[in-house]
Amino acid sequence: MLGAGNDSRIATRAEALRPTIEKFTEIVAWDLGFHQDLSKTKADLAIVLGGDGSILRSVHQMGYQQLPVMGVNLGKLGFLADVAPDELPELLPKICAGEFRVAEHLMAECSLLRGKQHLSPRLVLNEVVIRAGPPFRIVDIDLYIDGDWVTTYSCDGLIISTPVGSTAHGLSAGGPILANELQAMAISPISPHTLTNRPVVDSADRVYEMAVAKPLSGTAAVVDGTMLDVLQPEDRLRVRRCKACFKRVEVPGHSYYRTLREKLGWGGRLNPGR
C-alpha cells in the first residue's frame, strides 16, 4: 500500500480504507511517505492511494522491478488513479479472483551526457523537459533523433513525453494525446517563437537527444516533475526506451476513453438550436 501521507486529508482517508483492503488482501508493505525501496519487494499488486502524482512517485520507488499498480483516486483529476474509493469493496474480490488485466505501458530512461561523463540514468514515466528558467528568456534547444539534427526550437522549453505522459505536461503545452499502449514519443515545444513549430510524434525505438548550446543561468532538465540538473553548455539529454514498463491494472468497467471522456469533459453535446 502506497500513498501521499504528507497530505493529511489523503492520510486520513487511506487509514479509513485500510480495513476494507485488509479484508480481501494481505498487506506486505504500507508506506504513505514514499520512503521504502520497493525495487526488491515481492507482491502481486501495488495499491496506490492518492492521485497521479502518487503513482509517479511509487513508480520511481519500484525502479526497474515494476509491480502491477491499481490507483485509487484520493486526489483531483486522476488519469492513472481512476478507481474511486467506494468501488473498492466490489472490485477487490474480483481482483483477488483474477478478474483483471495488466496493461503494460512504455517507460523511458533519461541520461545526462556531460563531456565524457554519463550521469546516472533516471526512469521516466511521464516526460523529460528542458525548461528555460530564469532570467526567463527564450532559449534555443537543438533536437536530435538517432544522431541526426532535426531542428532548433526557440522556445520556453521542450517536452519529450511517453503516451502515459501525453495527458500531463505535454497536454498543457498543446501536445497530442497518445493512446497509452502506443509505442511512441511525443515532442512538444513550450511557447515556440515560430508558429510553424508543431508537436511531433515518432517511434519509441528511436534515440532522442536535446542540447542547449547557450543555456540561461536557470535552464534545467526536469524528469517527471523533479529537477535532474541545471544544464551546462554542451550538455546533452538523451531519452530512449527503457527495459522496464509501467504495469497498470485494468479493472472491469473502466477504459481509457471513458477516463478521457470523464476527466476532460468530453461528455458535452452540440445544441443545434443555438
Task: Identify the three-state secondary structure at position 268.
Answer: coil
Annotated catalytic residue within 7, 52, 82, 235 = 52
Distance, CA of 209 to CA of 206 (rounded, Å): 10
Question: What percent of the chain shows pLDDT beyond 90?
Answer: 67
Distance, CA of 72 to CA of 10 (rounded, Å): 11
Task: Identify the three-state secondary structure at position 261.
Answer: helix
> For residue range 152-183, what is the model confidence (pLDDT) as tens digits?
999 999 999 999 999 999 999 999 999 999 99
Rounded to 10 deg, the angle between the 88-96 and 8-24 helix axes is: 40
Which pLDDT value is given to residue 4? 73
Question: What structural domains and CATH numbers belong to the chain?
Answer: 2-100+251-263 (3.40.50.10330), 107-243 (2.60.200.30)
Is the pLDDT at 270 greater than 80, yes or no? no
Catalytic, 86? Answer no
- CA distances to 66, 80, 88, 198, 210 from 59, rounded to whole Å, are 7, 12, 21, 30, 24
Question: What percent of the chain shows pLDDT beyond 70?
Answer: 96
Helix (H) or strand (E) holding 260: helix 256-263
Is the pLDDT at 6 greater than 80, yes or no? no
The pLDDT-based confidence of 106 (bands split at 50, 70, 90) is very high
The HSE-up count of residue 148 (CA atoms within 13 Å, CB side) is 4
Is the pLDDT at 269 greater than 70, yes or no? no
